[in-house]
Structure 1
Amino acid sequence: MKQVWLQSIAVTLMAVIGSLLVCWGVLVFEGKPLDGEVVLLSMLSPVLLGFPIVFFLLYQKRKVRLAHLELSAAHDELAAVHRRLAEKARRDDLTGLLNRGAFVSAIDATRGHKSRGCLLVVDADNFKQINDSFGHLAGDEALRRISAAIRENVRRSDFQGRLGGEEFGIFLCGADLANAYIIAERLRQAVEAIAFAPQGREILRMTVSIGIADAPAPATFPEIMAKADKRLYEAKERGRNRVVMSAERDAA
């Protein structure tokens, strides 16, 4: 508000000076002497008429500018909230990984490119026993620990999601089977090393079985998932806690 007052006064002073110059020019042109009343009227007119108008216009301009700033700030805040909600809608509430829908969409988005990759399907072994013996809260904590191991052992550029229940998916963008096997084995060992003691009891050994399928560019998600599920089933059949990439290569 102080700035509006100062600007109004400055504009009014300029108007007074301009009015006096015009008045003086007219009197000189007409060959008349300076008249005190005329000079006073030339000074008062800008002050009495011009100042209120200038002040009103500047005040309205200030209000419009402030309203624009508030609207811009509200728009930015709304956009930020929208981004947070959109991101939250893509995430699994328990683990923070992508939910199944977002995970599948992320993989589908890569299908139009020539780059390939590998899909890892990770399933917690004997998970039902954790829920039955220690309750669902302990089961939830076990899933969070596994998801943390996933984050720590894959690249940030890779897609990580919870497919449902105790099953997780990892899509290694651009990876070949050899690299996928190394990453999967590292993850399996990381989960096996977790010191999980539900309810403060003895440490419970956690393990995962992992099935790997390569994802050539033309393949769709259902096709890739079917291959990875088959490898996962083989891992379970062979005793769990292992990585299966093909009938010839697996790790215990």
Structure 2
Amino acid sequence: MRRLEAISLMRRFEAMSVLRQSTLIVFLALAGADLLTTIFYGIFFSDRYLLDIVLTSIIVIIVGYPLAYFFLSQNVRLRAMAVELDRAARIDDLTGLYNRRTFFSECEVAIKGLGEGAFLYVDVDHFKKLNDRFGHAAGDSVLREFGDVISVCVRGGDVAARLGGEEFGIYLAHADIANALKVAERIRKRSLQIGPAVGLDDVRVTVSIGIALRDQGQTLDELMQLADENLYAAKEQGRDRVVFGASGKRAA
């Protein structure tokens, strides 16, 4: 019980601003110093008690407040840096989606915990030509906007990542083929709006998507390989489409 109360107090303290934290620490230090001064001078030097209480208080405030504020500020900065470093290690800085390493670790957890699901292998069509024509800044804008498209279309428990270049992977937990097709088509249709959104009004940005459903006992690598084959079929059929099934049948 006491431990829970201590944790609650620490969380309330951490939620305060640095200024309030510093004020609280100095106040407690001041109360402690004045208490010790009262005890000490009550025994030995009662005639100088009032003067020394004032002097002790002034010294604690002058010395303690700047030190408390400095060290608490550094602590806040270090915690912010730790959060940012953790984010940088897990997130693709351009799209805001998971990076490749995090994607595999998150998918392994999802597969072990849930079992069933669907994998979407997504590729932005003719991205190299777009980069060559408009430059890398425009290409980055397209990828950034596409990251937003994916974020809007997937659910909270899904795992979405930029796997490299213009390739993206999405693991849809607890999804059957109907769910997977619905998400894939939503992504494909929203992608058509990317050109105007990034100032490339004469450019039609399209994506090809291959879907694979996970069978019991199937590994993530096997699932991705099947989705990659369907992605290849989508490109062979002319791009801007969703494909599911080894036969390369186009999804409606």
Give the TM-score, by structure 1 length: 0.72
Corresponding position of 2:173: 173
Which residue number in structure 1 is paired with residue 221 of structure 2?
A: 222
Which runs of structure 2 are paired with 1:1-252 in the superposition (5 Å)?
7=34, 11=38, 15=42, 45-48=45-48, 52=52, 71=71, 74-196=74-196, 202-216=201-215, 218-246=217-245, 247=247, 249-251=249-251
Shift of 1:220: 2.4
For residues 194 and 171 of structure 2, the distance between their equivalents in structure 1, rounded to whole angstroms, comes to 23
Q: Distance in 2 between matches of 1:83 and 1:233?
A: 38
Aligned length: 224
Deviation readout 1:182-220 (Å, 9 max, x if unpaired): 11011111112334387x665211110001112346332
After TM superposition, give the deviation of residue 165 of structure 1 in Å: 1.1
- The letter for the 2-side match of 1:172 is L
Aligned-residue CA RMSD (Å): 4.0
Larger Rg, first or second structure (1 or 2): 1
Amino acid in structure 2 at the alignment position of 1:235: A
Give, in whole Å, the separation in 1 of the partners of 2:37 and 2:100.
Answer: 65
Give the Cα–Cα distance (whole angstroms) in 1 for the partners of residues 224 and 216 of structure 2. 14
Specify the code of the residue in structure 1 equivalent to 2:233: E
Distance 1:75 1:217 in 2: 48
CA distance in 1, matches of 2:200, 2:70: 55
Q: CA 1:227–1:46 in 2, change beyond 3 Å: closer, same or farther?
A: same
Report the alpha carbon displacement of residue 68 of structure 1 after superposing the two structures with TM.
6.9
Q: Deviations over 1:143-169 (max 9, x none)?
A: 222222111211233222111111111
Distance across 1 between alignment mates of 2:171 and 2:112: 15
Q: In the alignment, residue 231 of structure 2 is paired with which amino acid? A: L
Post-superposition Cα deviations, 1:58-100, rounded to whole Å, max 9, x if no partner, equal 9679978986786555434422320111112222222222111
* Structure 1 residue 47, shift from structure 2 partner: 2.2
> How far is 1:56 from its partner?
5.7
Q: Percent identity?
A: 38
User: Which residue identity is paired with 1:228?
Assistant: A
The one-letter code sitting in structure 1 at the alignment partner of 2:243 is V
Question: Counterparts of 1:96 and 1:71 in 2: how far apart (Å)?
Answer: 32
Q: Which one-letter code corresponds to 1:157 in the other structure? A: G
- Cα separation, 2, equivalents of 1:9 and 1:220: 67
1:112: how far off? 2.4
